[in-house]
Amino acid sequence: MRTSRADAAASSMPQALQNRAPAAFSSPQLGHASTRQEYDGVVQSTISGVPQPVALHLAPHADDELIGAPATLFALRDRGWRIVNLGCSLGHLPEHGGQRAHQAAEACRRAGFDFRALDQSIVTPADLTRRETLLVDALLGVFHEEGPALVIAPSPHDRHPHHEAVGRSAIALCERLGAAAPRLWLWGLWGDLPLPTLATAFATRRLKKILRALGAYSTELKRNDYRRLVRGRASANAILAPERVFGFGSKGTSAEYVEVLSEVEFTAGRWLLGEPRWLTDQVLAPVGDTDVSDLLHEASLTTRFGGPQARSNE
């Protein structure tokens, strides 16, 4: 096991390396007075005198923040993290942009996230290489403004070309930052994560909050009801996650729903994979020694063979 910059935020590895999901999540005990802020029926505690850690979520499309890894974002929010959801694209057609921006702002209000959107001129160039270069430059600017300790993004192997482009850009961002790179958590939607290492357990009450926030995207849900996907995938992961994360043959969990991500850290020119664990109050735990640089830079199936085509590019 390798220690890293995460040690400053977490003094020891969690005992959650066993495959039992935490029964409940408690607030950090930092010995400071706290204030309570309520939004949409949710009460959040903020520790005074302590800088609020920031998690930057990169949403390829408006609504991905509530489909990709929403339970994890909610769990971070409840632990006192400020969640900044960065909309990287608001719609393929110009007339969609204003509507999706309005819906994204409402969805993030319901979820308790801050919402930002990139200048849409960044995602319009037809040349994908040029588009990703502009995106990485824009992400650098957002990083210096927000100072996130954690970036959450889609996997560069997520099959959807826009998702993969954002995932590659998140990796390029960290590599550009070098020693200042934040921790990176990757989620999968259209393609399974090859190496999931982080599991977030949650219950029906949390699921209802996620689905209510996702309901703000009424136009998109009429096209395809992703609420069914969020519920069904989380239910399936409650069975799959213990074995996919902690090893085949591991004991199952009693958690109602589970979400999985891949945790990686860029350090000394290498991408190191996180240790298998449940998400607990120790948000940033030391990573391991497994070098997955080749995997993260490997050409995806979509890059090599293309993806399904439809009349809409979204």
pLDDT band at 127 (very low <50, low <70, confident <90, very high): confident
Q: Could you tell me if 71 and 234 are in contact, meaning their C-beta atoms sit under 8 angstroms apart?
A: yes
Residue 288 lies in a domain: no
Residue 115 lies in a domain: yes
The pLDDT value recorded for residue 91 is 56
What average pLDDT does range 76-94 have in this prediction?
A: 84
The pLDDT value recorded for residue 307 is 84
H/E stretch holding 115 reads strand 114-117
The pLDDT value recorded for residue 311 is 59
For 9-43, the pLDDT digits (tens) are: 443 333 333 344 544 333 222 223 333 354 555 54
The pLDDT value recorded for residue 157 is 97
Choice among 20-29, 72-81, 134-143, 146-155 with the minimum mean pLDDT: 20-29
Structure token digits, residue 179: 């020693």
CA nearest 261: which of 282, 237, 295?
Answer: 237
Question: Side chain identity at 185, as an amino acid letter?
Answer: W
The pLDDT value recorded for residue 1 is 55
- Angstrom distance (rounded) from CA 109 to CA 118: 18
Residue 125 has pLDDT above 60, yes or no: yes
First-to-last alpha carbon distance for the chain, in angstroms, is: 41
Residue 37 lies in a domain: no
The pLDDT value recorded for residue 260 is 98
Mean pLDDT of the chain, nearest integer: 85
Percent of the chain with pLDDT over 70: 80
- Angstrom distance (rounded) from CA 28 to CA 79: 7
Domain containing residue 125 = 52-278
For the question of whether the overall pTM of this predicted structure is more than 0.75, the answer is yes
Measured CA distances, 61 to 152, 208, 269, 301 (Å): 14, 22, 30, 21
For 218-277, the pLDDT digits (tens) are: 999 999 999 999 999 999 999 999 999 999 999 999 999 999 999 999 999 999 999 999
Residue 247 lies in a domain: yes
pLDDT band at 79 (very low <50, low <70, confident <90, very high): very high
CA nearest 70: which of 82, 57, 61?
Answer: 57
Residue 26 lies in a domain: no
The pLDDT value recorded for residue 2 is 53
Structure token digits, residue 85: 């959801």
Residue 242 lies in a domain: yes
The pLDDT value recorded for residue 119 is 86
What average pLDDT does range 50-65 have in this prediction?
A: 94
Residue 306 has pLDDT above 50, yes or no: yes
Residue 227 lies in a domain: yes
Q: Between 275 and 3, name the one with better pLDDT.
A: 275
The pLDDT value recorded for residue 233 is 98
Residue 29 lies in a domain: no
For 175-210, the pLDDT digits (tens) are: 999 999 999 999 999 999 999 999 999 999 999 999
E strands, 168-248, are 183-187, 198-202
Q: Which region holds residue 54: left if phi is over 0, alpha if psi is between -120 and 50, else beta?
A: beta
CATH of the domain at 108: 3.40.50.10320
The pLDDT value recorded for residue 308 is 85
Q: How many domains does the chain fold into?
A: 1
Residue 96 has pLDDT above 80, yes or no: no
